[in-house]
Structure 1
C-alpha cells in the first residue's frame, strides 16, 4: 500500500440463508474490482446474523415448503422471481430446491476462516457456502456438507472441520455478534457498515458501491456520504 492510499473498512452483516446477501456479495466484488485503480485498499469483514432464530439446528426443513408457509403462494412467487432474475443478471443460478436450517454452524466456520486466513479465506469459504446452498440445494446444517466446503475452500481438512464442528469453538462469539447486531438496530440484511460511520442497507448494485468508493477516494477529509436508496433485503 502506497502512502497515498486510503484504507476503507467494510463490515458486512448477513445471514447465509439470505439470497440478497449472496447477491450483494457479488455486487460488492464487482465494485471492488471496478475501482482497483483507485488509491484505495478495501478491507471486508463478514459478520453473522440470525434471520430466523426459530429454525432448528439439527433438523433440515424443505426450503420451498418453509417459504410458502412463511409468505404464502403469491408473495413467495413474487419474491422468488425477483431473486432469481437479479441473480441471473450476475450469473447466479439461485434455486429454492433443497432444505433450510439454522446457520450457526456455518457462521462458526466463517468466523474461524477470518481468524486463520483473514478476508481472503473467509470470502473463499462464504463463496463456497453460498453456491452450495443457493445453487446446489445443500444442507448447511450437515457436518459432512460443511466439512467438504471447508476443505474445498482451503480452510481446513474435512477431518479437522468435523472435529471443529463437534466442539463449541467460536459458538459464543457468533451468538454474541448476532446479539450485538440486533442491539444496534439491525433488523434486515445485508447491512454494510462503511468505515464505522455509514450504513449501506440491502442488496445494492455494484454502481452504488462504486460511487461510494470514488467519493471516499476523492478527499482525505471525512465527508458524509449521500443517502443510499433502499434495496431489497431479508428481514426478521
Structure 2
C-alpha cells in the first residue's frame, strides 16, 4: 500500500542553494518513482532581504562583494557554479538582486490554481530566469511573463494581480511563521512535519530518506537533522 510523504520546502528565490536543492530534490523524486510512496511537495516563502524596498534592484555582484568581501565571494561563486554544473545548471552572477515578495505571491497563487505541478513549473521558470538569464524577478513585466508561461494566468491578469494585495498577507504570515520556528537559513525542508533537512543536500540524502519511509508504516525517526550549505540572513 502506498503512503504519502509530505514535504514543506521553505526557500527564497534569490538563494542559489535553493535552486540547487530544488534540482537535487527533483532528481531524488524521479529516482524513487517505483517505491510505494507518493511525494507531495509544497514550497513556502522566506525572505533573505526583508529590508530591501520592493521596487529597488541592486547590482548582484556588488551586493555579494559588499556582503562577503571579494575573496569569499569568489570562493562561494566557484563552489556554487561547480555544483550547479554537475546538475546541468548554468548559474551566473550578473544582473540584479531584488526583494522577492511579488515572486512568492505568484508562487503561492500557482499552488492555489494548479497545485504542486503548477507551482513547480513556475519555480523552475523563475529560477532559470533569475540564475541563468539574469532577469529582474522584482519587475512586474518579467513576473507577468513568467506567470503566463507557467499557465497561472494571462499576462494582463498577472499585472493586475501584482498591483493588488492578493496573497500578500498569506505570504508575509508564512515568512513570519518560518522565523518563529527558528528558520534562519534556506533551503529548509520539513518532512511529514517531524524531520528537518537543512541546506542544499544531494539527491542521495533524499533518496535514502524516501527509501526508509517506504519501508515502514510506523512513525519512526528517519534521521537526525541533516545540514548542508544554506543562504542565511544577513
TM-score range, shorter chain: over 0.9
TM-score (norm 1): 0.97
Measured in 2, the distance between the counterparts of 1:191 and 1:209 equals 13
Measured in 2, the distance between the counterparts of 1:149 and 1:116 equals 15
The number of residues matched between the two structures is: 233
Report the equivalent of 1:125: 122
Q: What are the ranges of 5 or more consecutive residues in structure 1 without an aligned counterpart? A: none
Matches within 5 A, 1:70-219: 70-219=67-216
Q: Contact 1:17 / 1:103 at 8 angstroms: preserved in 2? A: yes
Measured in 2, the distance between the counterparts of 1:228 and 1:105 equals 31
Measured in 2, the distance between the counterparts of 1:202 and 1:178 equals 17
TM-score (norm 2): 0.98
1:228 Cα deviation after fit: 4.9
Measured in 1, the distance between the counterparts of 2:133 and 2:162 equals 22
1:226 Cα deviation after fit: 2.0
1:230 Cα deviation after fit: 2.4
Q: What are the ranges of 5 or more consecutive residues in structure 2 without an aligned counterpart? A: none
Determine whether 1:37 maps to 2:25.
no
Q: Contact 1:13 / 1:47 at 8 angstroms: preserved in 2? A: yes
SS in 2 for 1:130: helix
Matches within 5 A, 1:5-24: 5-24=2-21
Report the equivalent of 1:233: 230
Q: Contact 2:195 / 2:223 at 8 angstroms: preserved in 1? A: no
1:52 Cα deviation after fit: 1.4
1:225 Cα deviation after fit: 1.4
Measured in 1, the distance between the counterparts of 2:75 and 2:150 equals 33
1:121 Cα deviation after fit: 0.4
